[in-house]
Copies of this chain bind each other. A is one copy, B any other.
């Protein structure tokens, strides 16, 4: 799988969907699948699916389709799911601990090594074997353990400063759950605007047809 011209974000957004659906199919013991069948499962057109895959190289075989195992591995490789990222969770409230607890995280290559919080009643507790540390020790910990990724679940008011600081400390990726968009040169930031999705629901509740 050689990487060529920049692939558009529209395509990247579909890759995790392909990965999930192909994984489901593999679980059912199915070894090959055509773009036609994938179309039924994903709702995308067969043509689009072939186009998407061919951004990264030819994964299929004419007259046969795609081998499900091979296809899943290719997509996992493209998405970087085979790497391990040392990850911390900043903010050990309900959301932070929910995320630390979440099955999907572990299987995706993000290894959570610590949580951080100011609350003294929380410090020292363990969430699924991972300790909650004092927020005061954040800088030191990040430096000493060369942390790759931080998941931000602190309130909006402090989130921005923490993200700037983590960027300076050379954290490479940020998964930000605080409802503010932050962009920092040289750091990959995914802003999760959970609220926005709720408004979308609200819109379609009103304009349902």
Residues of A within 8 A of B (CB): 3, 6, 12-13, 15-17, 19-20, 78-81, 83, 85, 93-95, 97-98, 101-102, 104-105, 108-110, 148-149, 172-173, 175, 179, 188, 190, 192-209
Q: What are the residues of chain B within 8 A of A79 when measuring CB–CB?
A: 199, 202-203, 206
Q: What are the residues of chain B within 8 A of A206 when measuring CB–CB?
A: 79-80, 83
Candidates B108, B192, B197; contact of A202 at CB < 8 Å: B108
Q: What are the residues of chain B within 8 A of A193 when measuring CB–CB?
A: 16-17, 20
Q: What are the residues of chain B within 8 A of A105 when measuring CB–CB?
A: 198
**Further 4 A-B residue pairs, CB within 8 A, beyond A12-B200, A175-B197:** A85-B205, A95-B102, A109-B202, A175-B198
Count chain B CB atoms within 10 A of each CB in A109, A173, A192, A205 and give the residue with the most.
A205
Candidates B98, B108, B204, B205; contact of A199 at CB < 8 Å: B108
* Distance between Cα atoms of A192 and B200 in the complex (Å): 11
Candidates B104, B148, B179; contact of A194 at CB < 8 Å: B104
Q: How many copies does the complex hold?
A: 2
Q: Which are the 4 A-B pairs with shortest beta-carbon distances?
A: A94-B98, A80-B206, A16-B196, A16-B199
* Distance between Cα atoms of A143 and B59 in the complex (Å): 50
Q: Quote the shortest CB–CB distance from A14 to chain B (angstroms).
A: 9
Q: What are the residues of chain B within 8 A of A110 when measuring CB–CB?
A: 198, 202
* Distance between Cα atoms of A203 and B7 in the complex (Å): 11
- Known: A94-B94, A108-B195, A196-B17. Is A85-B202 also a contact (CB below 8 A)? yes
Q: Are A198 and B104 in contact (CB under 8 A)?
A: yes
* Distance between Cα atoms of A208 and B184 in the complex (Å): 13
* Distance between Cα atoms of A17 and B181 in the complex (Å): 10
- Known: A13-B196, A200-B13. Is A205-B104 also a contact (CB below 8 A)? no
Q: Are A192 and B197 in contact (CB under 8 A)?
A: yes
Q: What are the residues of chain B within 8 A of A97 when measuring CB–CB?
A: 94
Q: What are the residues of chain B within 8 A of A102 when measuring CB–CB?
A: 95, 194
